[in-house]
Amino acid sequence: MPETKPVLMQGNEACALGAISAGVRFYAGYPITPSTEIAEHMAEKLPDLGGVFIQMEDEIASMAAIIGASIGGMRTLTATSGPGFSLKQENIGYAIMAEIPCVVVNVQRMGPSTGVPTAPAQGDVMQARWGTHGDHPIIVFSPASVYETYYLTIAAVNLSQKLRQPVIILLDEVIGHMREKVLIPEAGKLLVEKASDLVPSDWKPYDEKGLTPLVPFGFGHYYHVTGLFHDQYGFPTGDPPQVERALDRLHHKLEKNRDEIILTNYIGHKEPRVAIVTYGCTVRSARAVVTKAYWQNRLPVGLLSLQTIWPFPAREIEALAKQVDVIIVPEMNMGQIVGEVERYARGQAEVIPLNRYDGEMINPDQIYEQMGRWLS
Amino acid sequence: MALIEHLTQEYLRTKKLPHIWCPGCGNGIVTAALIRAIERTGYDQRDVVIVSGIGCSSRAAGYLNFNTLHTTHGRALAFATGLKMARPELKLFVIMGDGDCSAIGGNHFIHAARRNIDLNAVIINNHIYGMTGGQHSPLTPTGMKATTAPRGTLERPFDLLVLARGAGATFAARGIAAQPRQLEQLIVRGATHKGFSVVEALSPCPIAYGRRNKLGGAVEMLRSMKDSSISVERAAETEDAELKDKTITGVIYSFDAPEYAEEYYRSISDNKG
């Protein structure tokens, strides 16, 4: 990225600035620790950009309001934490069904329930996947740094626009509140993809032939938007073949764009025997382990970090499992992504969970110790 | 006749008919009054948006030929708030039922009123949850029967328009399906009022409410609705004791106060300068 300038900022701030860089001009939210700084930054910055900040009466209304604003043609975002994320779920499902783009940030905190509001945890991995009812597709990013938060927020906004699909950013409390250097591109250097303004005269909101850009309300296309199963014009249907086609449509658009959605990163030995698979802030501890074990001691180890956790990077795990004897999966929960890793390892490698759920980060020594057992 | 044909062709999605409502339902009368009211406002069809929640009445959105947004249960006003803030030039009519608006959507209702955001809420009050087969709502009168109150509900209903007033709404009116012309006028007045406007439209549900409570069929329900109503002007000249069981119709209150979307956009352009 040319002509960038380094800025020290907090993860939550990077999320807000990334969103603004990506063209988000509408934010609706409700205060909740540890995500509140995102709302505060938006409240400060959006009015000067001609955008809208609105503090809604609750989390449900915040989710509803961003969907409403998206239908009006704005790029939208809301941020929350576990309890609020639970409340947003019904309307997240609505946005998936009605194919309305929007970005939802969940700065995770220790649960269940009110839990430890200021403690980090990665307990919402499965809620992000299956929180809303029905057989829905979802895209979930999990940044490992403030820098990644900035760029993944931009990617989230662009993807949500392109696919007319809600994208969730599952931020860790540790990332949200940490200050780190981010390289901010100068104005105009950033890739912000715009949905096509050119609308064919036979435009249909849910065209059977494939994805069409959303034409906002107020331009003379009198279509219907509903959470009911609908035909290509948006009108309710209960006809079994149409229902099945409509659900396939939602899933196929993600499958077709898999390469753009699935982001992972491998570092370490070319022919590893032991690999770590993790995401979010736990990547940071795993990186320290790889630095010591591989870069310093040349041990056959590697790290596959998952920036995208849903849809699950199945192919990447399958390929990794063929290479290694053991995959260690550290997570700040009682074991959520590890089940997916096991599923796609298909018995080719032993999958070992490493869990911590006391509100503290997994430290490098814990991973190193676990790994040592398999290298000796 | 010509006007009716024009309205049918332009504002109704005739291919989506017949509608799903039961025989004798008042939703069609209220929807027709809404269509005529929109015509009378002179709004450009492209600027009109119909937002609705979930329930029998909210299905009206699907039959109306505008940009229509059929949302989740109780949340219509929250979706509408987002859309209005994004596109303040649009004219939003928000159709809700009594359960949708006053129970699950109660929080959004009071906050839309508090902001005085320029949305036109049309609440079709049939005193019952009809879509699910007749459960009592917060607006079901005490003692009336429902599938979830087989011995008559012990709960007390509340006056939606008084609640709205307390929360900050600047316009409220009540009409009845038995007097569709008045209802049409009330919707027009609500629509042209700047700020949050509430029009409560009482509507008969002979199938899920009337039958269980022995209120007769649609005709009897409409007749008793008419007999028990009194205009706000006549009510002003009537003794309180006589108004006890009466439904007061007409514009209950209307006054000016800053409208939220306009205030917001003014404040951000002031800051820029």
Give the model confidence (pLDDT) of A317-365 as tens digits.
999 999 999 999 999 999 999 999 999 999 999 999 999 999 999 999 9
Name the token pair of A218.
């107020």
Distance CA B270, CA A48 (A): 10
Ramachandran region, residue B152 (left: φ > 0; alpha: ψ -120 to 50; beta: rest): left
Q: How many CA atoms lie within 13 A of A46 on its CB side?
A: 28
Residue A362 shares a structural domain with residue A220: no
- A101 close to A214: Cβ distance less than 8 angstroms: yes
- This complex has an ipTM of 0.97
Contacts of A244 (CB under 8 A, 6+ apart): none
Residue B251: closest CA among B159, B172, B164: B172
What are the pLDDT digits (tens) for A360-370?
999 999 999 99
Cα A132 to Cα A96, A135, A311: the distances in Å are: 10, 9, 15
In chain A, how many domains are there?
2
Mean pLDDT confidence for A297-314? 97
- A184 close to A151: Cβ distance less than 8 angstroms: no
Residue A230 shares a structural domain with residue A162: yes
Q: Which amino acid is at A226?
A: T
- pLDDT on residue A197: 57
Report the SS3 class of residue A106: strand
Residue A145 shares a structural domain with residue A49: yes
Residue A300 shares a structural domain with residue A174: no
Give A-chain residues touching B85 at CB under 8 angstroms: 26, 52, 54, 65, 69
Phi first, then psi: give them for residue A226, nearest 5 degrees: -150, 160
CATH of the domain at B258: 3.40.50.970
In chain B, how many domains are there?
1
Q: Where are the alpha helices (DSSP H) in chain B?
A: 2-11, 27-41, 60-63, 76-86, 98-99, 106-115, 160-167, 180-192, 218-227, 232-236, 260-272
- How far off is chain A from B234, nearest CA to CA, in Å? 38
- B160 close to B198: Cβ distance less than 8 angstroms: yes
Residue A173 shares a structural domain with residue A232: yes
* In the predicted structure, residue A223 carries a pLDDT above the cut 70: yes
- How far off is chain B from A57, nearest CA to CA, in Å? 7
| String of DSSP letters for A228-269 | S-B-TTS-B---HHHHHHHHHHHHHHHHHTHHHH--EEEEE-
- Other beta carbons less than 10 A from residue A54's beta carbon: 25
Residue A165 shares a structural domain with residue A59: yes
Q: What pLDDT band is residue B7 in, cutting at 50, 70 and 90?
A: confident
Give A-chain residues touching B111 at CB under 8 angstroms: 56-57, 61
**Strand partners for A350:** A326
Q: Which of A76, A94, A217 sits opposite B90 (nearest CB)?
A: A217
- Domain that residue B69 falls in: 2-272
Residue A140 shares a structural domain with residue A27: yes
- Domain that residue A218 falls in: 1-261
Instruction: Count chain A–chain B contacts defined by CB atoms under 8 A.
Output: 128
Residue A367 shares a structural domain with residue A296: yes
Residue A269 shares a structural domain with residue A245: no
Last-in-domain residue among A220, A243, A261: A261
- pLDDT on residue A376: 73
Residue A31 shares a structural domain with residue A153: yes
Distance CA B200, CA A278 (A): 55
Distance CA B236, CA A104 (A): 52
What are the pLDDT digits (tens) for A45-68?
999 999 999 999 999 999 999 999
Mutation target among B9, B59, B64, B75 for the A interface, most CBs of A within 10 A: B75
**% of residues, chain B, pLDDT over 90:** 93
- pLDDT on residue A1: 45
Residue A214 shares a structural domain with residue A288: no
Distance CA B109, CA B114 (A): 9
Last-in-domain residue among A216, A235, A261: A261
Q: Is B85 within 8 Å of A216 when comparing Cβ atoms? A: no
- pLDDT on residue B270: 79
Residue A314 shares a structural domain with residue A195: no
Q: Which of B67, B264, B268 sits opposite A217 (nearest CB)?
A: B67
Last-in-domain residue among A206, A234, A261: A261
